[in-house]
Amino acid sequence: MAQQNDDTKNGMSRKDFVRNASLAAGGVFLSTFPAMGGQRNKSNEMLKIALIGCGGRGTGAANQALTADSGNQLVAMADAFRDRLDDCYETLSKRYGDTEQLNVPEDHKFTGFDAYKKAIQLADVVILATPPGFRPVHFEEAVNADKHVFMEKPLATDVPGIHKILEAGKLAEQKNLNVVVGLQRHYQNSYREVSKRVHGGEIGSIVGGQVYWNSDGVWVRPREDGQTEMEYQMRNWYYFNWLCGDHILEQHIHNIDVANWMIGEYPASAQGMGGREVRNGKEHGQIFDHHFVEFTYPSGAVIASQCRHQEGTMNRVSEFFQTTEGTIDTAGDRGIITSWDGETLYDHNADGDINPYQQEHNELFAAIRNGEVINDTERSAKSTLTAIMGRMATYSGDVISWEDAMNGSKKLVPDALSWDSEPPVTPDENGNYPVPVPGVTDVLT
């Protein structure tokens, strides 16, 4: 069975992903995934979409939004960089250039740190796909402007950002705005079917488990001549915590979120260890290359969480749980429930399942058309906080309680940024960035 991970999020198979390696450089080859999305039904009005963040994920999300409903039209685009916006537009033009679904005139293409404000005003639905450090302020702007939202995970890189997201999410609820978050396993049949059986009591209570995101790692964008420090960090954003939050947050959140979902709780505490053994050059900024965290839940369940970015090591992206009556095994389109006596109680058949990256957009636009409301904000924000809590534990070496994390005041993302700003983290005289040290680093204040 195929293993679900970020490789398929643009509607491409793993084979396609490997062949189209330029995705990692910002380009995207659009999928030939069939348009199984919702049709225009109750309303025939064109839904105008603004894309904020035109990298690989943003391009893929825009494609999926246009595929979801023939009445959707991309009308505005915004990114920090003009070349990335142009690459995205060119890619979308190959599929939609001859249709009315792509209608972004030159004066609707915006660049810079404040570009999002102009694009949001032109749309009914906003796609937020920039590096996650910007998500809170972008989401707040979209909700204040009464827009429906699709936003990528994670939802913030620091706790003040989490609080901003939660407040905006409550306002979105009051305004009956749809908010779908790119934790796509919630839109995947295999996970939905397993969850239904777990919460229906068919396999008892979860007492423990293991969740994994172990892989070779992701792209590195080298420093180029003439770049300011701000431009370099914005281009190589994955390696700076104020923008990315480390890979325990940026990618492993998927598996941590599944643990929260299946257990039906958020952790009471976390403790763990981590560091950087092989990915430790100047170009790797300040993040770790491995984390191992024990999350303890109020029910007493303990989840061992591990994520690693080291080439040549075991790859695994999956979740495995032990219950009072058996085991649960999930990964991609795999969903297997087995009793302790070895009987297979459920084995998901994924034939005909829709790609969850497409399904989340299908359901978003169907809800808008039908006058229904989806709001993923709170659970997604709390899974984001769970991953931040794990990072706090590995960076500090301390036991971090949920209350500690929720009350943390350490702010990573500045309130105002410009190309002339000094980034919140800068290199020393040798070009090295400060790396967290367990036992020394303060992660809360």
CA atoms within 13 A on the CB side of 245: 31
Q: What is the pLDDT of residue 24?
A: 32
- State whether residue 421 is helix, strand or coil: coil
Going residue by residue through the chain (445 aa), what tens digit of pLDDT does each one get? 333 334 344 433 333 322 332 333 333 445 433 333 334 444 568 999 999 999 999 999 999 999 999 999 999 999 999 999 999 999 999 999 999 999 999 999 999 999 999 999 999 999 999 999 999 999 999 999 999 999 999 999 999 999 999 999 999 999 999 999 999 999 999 999 999 999 999 999 999 999 999 999 999 999 999 999 999 999 999 999 999 999 999 999 999 999 999 999 999 999 999 999 999 999 999 999 999 999 999 999 999 999 999 999 999 999 999 999 999 999 999 999 999 999 999 999 999 999 999 999 999 999 999 999 999 999 999 999 999 999 999 999 999 999 999 999 999 999 989 999 999 999 999 999 999 999 999 999 9
CA atoms within 13 A on the CB side of 25: 8
What angle in degrees, to the nearest 10, is found between the helix axes of 159-174 and 135-144?
20
Upstream peptide bond of 154 is cis (omega within 30 degrees of 0): yes
DSSP symbol at 102: B
Which one, of 163, 159, 166, lies nearest residue 143 by Cα? 166
Number of Cβ within a 10 Å radius of residue 420:
7
Q: What is the pLDDT of residue 45?
A: 87
Q: What is the pLDDT of residue 25?
A: 31
Distance from CA of residue 434 to its chain's centroid? 25
Q: Which helix (H) or strand (E) holds 148?
A: strand 148-151
CA atoms within 13 A on the CB side of 186: 23
- State whether residue 256 is helix, strand or coil: helix
Number of Cβ within a 10 Å radius of residue 383:
26
385 neighbors 162 (Cβ within 8 angstroms): yes
Quote the longest CA-to-CA distance of the chain. Answer: 65
Q: How far apart are CA 11 and CA 357, in angstroms?
A: 7
- Round the CA-based radius of gyration of the chain to a whole number and report it: 21
124 neighbors 134 (Cβ within 8 angstroms): no
260 neighbors 299 (Cβ within 8 angstroms): no
The dihedrals phi and psi of 26, each to the nearest 5 degrees, come to 115, -15
Q: What is the pLDDT of residue 44?
A: 67
